Structure formats: structure tokens, C-alpha cells
């Protein structure tokens, strides 16, 4: 039951909530021992704050839940490849695993030649089509 697809669907639901708020639709959850300990969606417009990416909020929230700043034995599920800022935060967090939906060729950390923490396992392409499509639809709508 607790597959990467299962948890990514919950992250995707967060992206849908962002979309309903006219935010760039990115969602994220953090799982510890098969429990969701943080969920968040992008709120940069609502909060007028460029740092309010889904991942940043989720990292803060998960650390708060755990009572420690390191996210050992935690997995982040995020619908879009993290940007430089969020990748930097993930390095500091020492999160154990990051599962990514869609790639972000332009803003993602991979094409910036950055890596996450040596302890962090990265999995790509879970629900990739849905995670990619919701972004495309959002930006297409804004251009019309």
C-alpha cells in the first residue's frame, strides 16, 4: 500500500490545492515511518514571499514535528524537481530520500550541476505525467 505512487498522489493533491489558489501548482509531503508528518503547497503569492515554496514549508514543518532539524529516515515527495533554494535546504536537512514527480529543466537543481546530501537517495519520475501536466496547464492558462 505505502508505495512511492501512493504518497506522490498525496503530494499531487497538495499541488491541486495550490492551483485552486492560483499558485504555481507544486505540492510536497514528508513521510516518516509511513506517517505523513508534513504537507505543504506553494504559497509564494498568497504569502508574498519567494521563500514559501512547498518544500521549504514542509522541511520546517517536519523538523518541528520531529523536534530536531535533521530529517533522517524521512522521505520527501515533491511534484516538481526542487529549485536551487529548495535543493540547498534539502542538503542542510540531510533528508534520507527525495521522490520527484516532474523534472524542471530550467529552474531545477540538476541542470545547475548541484547535488543533494551524500546520504540522500533520489528517485525520479513518479506520477511524472500528472505532475508535469498540471504545471503546463497552469502556465498555458496564464498566457491566454
Question: Where on the chain is the footprint of its own copies (CB under 8 A)?
Answer: 44-45, 48-51, 56, 59-60, 63-64, 67-70, 83-89, 91-93, 112-114
What ranges in the chain are assigned the alpha helix state H? 4-20, 54-66, 84-93, 128-143
For the beta sheet containing 27-32, the strands, ordered from the edge strand earlier in sequence to the opposite edge, are 35-41, 27-32, 74-80, 97-102, 121-124
Give the contacts of 84 (CB within 8 A, at least 6 positions apart): 107, 109, 112, 114
Least distance from its own copies to the Cβ atom of residue 10, Å: 22
Least distance from its own copies to the Cβ atom of residue 93, Å: 5
Closer of 90 and 127 to its own copies (Cβ): 90
Closer of 11 and 87 to its own copies (Cβ): 87
Are 36 and 10 within 8 A, CB to CB?
A: yes
Closer of 44 and 96 to its own copies (Cβ): 44
Q: Is 140 exposed, middle or buried (0-12, 13-18, 19+ CB in 10 A)?
A: exposed
Least distance from its own copies to the Cβ atom of residue 130, Å: 25
Query: 14, 23, 55, 81: which is the annotated catalytic residue?
Result: 55
Does the active-site annotation cover 55? Answer: yes
Closer of 27 and 82 to its own copies (Cβ): 82
Least distance from its own copies to the Cβ atom of residue 55, Å: 9
- Active site residues per annotation: 55
Amino acid at each position: 500500500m505505502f508505495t512511492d505512487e501512493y504518497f506522490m498522489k498525496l503530494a499531487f493533491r497538495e499541488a491541486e490545492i495550490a492551483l485552486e489558489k492560483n499558485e504555481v501548482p507544486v505540492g510536497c509531503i514528508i513521510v516518516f515511518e509511513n506517517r505523513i508528518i508534513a504537507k505543504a503547497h506553494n504559497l509564494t503569492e498568497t504569502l508574498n514571499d519567494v521563500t514559501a515554496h512547498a518544500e521549504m514549508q514542509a522541511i520546517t514543518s517536519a523538523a518541528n514535528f520531529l523536534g530536531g532539524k535533521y530529517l533522517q529516515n524521512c522521505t520527501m515527495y515533491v511534484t516538481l524537481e526542487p529549485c536551487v533554494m529548495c535543493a540547498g535546504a534539502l542538503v542542510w536537512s540531510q533528508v534520507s530520500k527525495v521522490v520527484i514527480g516532474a523534472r524542471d529543466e530550467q529552474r531545477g537543481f540538476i541542470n545547475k550541476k548541484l547535488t543533494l546530501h551524500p546520504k540522500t537517495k533520489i528517485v525520479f519520475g513518479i506520477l511524472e505525467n500528472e505532475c508535469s501536466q498540471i504545471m503546463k496547464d497552469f502556465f498555458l492558462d496564464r498566457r491566454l
